[in-house]
Amino acid sequence: MNEAPSGRLSGRIVAATHNKGKLAELADLLAPRGLEVVGAGALGLAEPEETGDSFAANAAIKAHAAARAAGLPALADDSGLCVAALDDAPGIYSARWAGEGRDFAGAMARIARELEARGAPAPWRAHFVSALALAWPDGRLESFEGRVDGRLVFPPRGTSGFGYDPIFVPDGHARSFGEMTAQEKHGLPRDNSLALSHRARAFQKLARALID
């Protein structure tokens, strides 16, 4: 069973990602709700081409592809960093700025270079966006979005998290996401009010609608 009689989600779910850091975050968020999480990589699922023009569109592409291939509900995340002084780049191209080798150190250095080239003065405002798409094999889809605003810092700080976490300091805090624990970013396992990260905030909406 993957959907309870009430329409709530239960049982086994595919995390439609091959990104180990993202898989770990989704598992951290789903596990306290009693859901068994299996990654797309463990099932040998191919990565679909992300041809959407928004975070939500790309998340839906990934979720639909995994749900059809696995015959299970699939949860996909498409997320990225939007830097105000760079016209919200890298945005939906955040992963692509890191290249096939997922070189986020290089991607963060590129952001620093482009800010310098534009003569953009600090503080460098930015926000993270996460779009979560939950798809079922029959084609149904639910979408949820979360956002967190903050500023960028250089050089990068901390080694926790993944992606652009070390250069992003959320509003109201002095430390970067790279210096925070997973619990600090996600909140307590069942306390939605403490969600801090963009992914946790999107998941908070999903959980209220389909799990809790």
Going 95 to 99 to 102 to 104, the CA torsion angle's sign is: negative
| Residue 140 phi, psi dihedral angles, 5° rounding | -65, 150
Task: Determine the Cα–Cα distance for residues 66 and 129; give it in Å rounded to an integer.
Answer: 22
Tokens of 207: 């959980």
CB 47 within 8 A of CB 74: no
Burial 27-48 (b: 16+ CB within 10 A, else e): ebbbeebebebbbbeeeebeeb
Which residue is it, tokens 């509003």?
171
Helix or strand (DSSP H, E) at 75? strand 74-83
Neighbours of 17 (CB within 10 A): 24
**CA triplet 111, 114, 117: central angle to 5 degrees?**
150
Tokens of 154: 């250089």
Tokens of 152: 């960028």
As annotated, the active-site residues are 78
CB 55 within 8 A of CB 131: yes
